[in-house]
Amino acid sequence: MGRLLQVGVLLASFVVLVGGVLYVRAHHATAPNYRVFSSAPADLRSLRGLGHGIAAADPAAIIQLGVLLLIATPVARVVFALVAFAIERDKLYVAVSLTVLAVLIFGFFRSQ
C-alpha cells in the first residue's frame, strides 16, 4: 500500500510539473494582476470540461488533472485496502474500510 501512495504522489507531481512548465511557457510575457482574485475557469470545474482542456493541451487543465490525481491517491489506497481485506475475509477491516470510503465519497459529493 505504501508503494501505491508513492506512485500516486510521484505521478501527480510529474503531471503538475509538466502542466506548470507548459503554463509558464504560454504565459511568460503576461504580468499577473494580484489586485483582483480570479478563480479557476468554469470549464475546469467539471470532468467534461477538464477532458476537453486536456485534449487541447491546456496547461491549466493539465495542472488540474495533477491535483485530481493527488486527491485520488488516498482514495485508491482505501479501495485497495478494502479489496485486500475482502480477499483475506477480514470482516471488521472490510467494514472499517467501507466506512472510511463512504465518508470520503460523502465529503467529495456533498453540496455546499
**58 found inside a domain:** yes
**35 found inside a domain:** no
Confidence category of residue 102, pLDDT binned at 50, 70, 90: very high
Q: Which domain holds residue 74?
A: 2-30+42-109
**37 found inside a domain:** no
**81 found inside a domain:** yes
23, three cell numbers: 503554463
Which tens digit of pLDDT belongs to each residue from 20-66?
Answer: 999 999 888 888 778 888 777 888 888 888 889 888 888 989 999 99
Residue with cell 485530481: 68
Q: In the chain, how many domains are there?
A: 1
Which tens digit of pLDDT belongs to each residue from 85-98?
Answer: 999 999 999 999 99
The predicted model scores a pTM of 0.79
Which tens digit of pLDDT belongs to each residue from 60-75?
Answer: 899 999 999 998 998 9
